[in-house]
Amino acid sequence: ALTLARPPHPGPPSPHPSRRARAAQVYVRFADKAIWRLGQEASFEGGAPGQPGGVAWGQWHAVGGIAAGPPALGRSMHDGTSIVFVRQADKQLYHKSQRPGHNGTRFEPDFELMRGAFAAGPALVQKASGLLEVLMQGVDRQVYHSAQTERGAFLGFGSFNALGGRTRQFAC
Q: Give the pLDDT confidence score for residue 66 in this predicted structure.
A: 92
pLDDT interval class at 100 (50, 70, 90)? low
pLDDT interval class at 15 (50, 70, 90)? very low
Residue 3 has pLDDT above 70, yes or no: no
pLDDT interval class at 92 (50, 70, 90)? very high
Is residue 145 packed enough to be buried (19+ CB in 10 Å), middle (13-18) or exposed (0-12)? middle
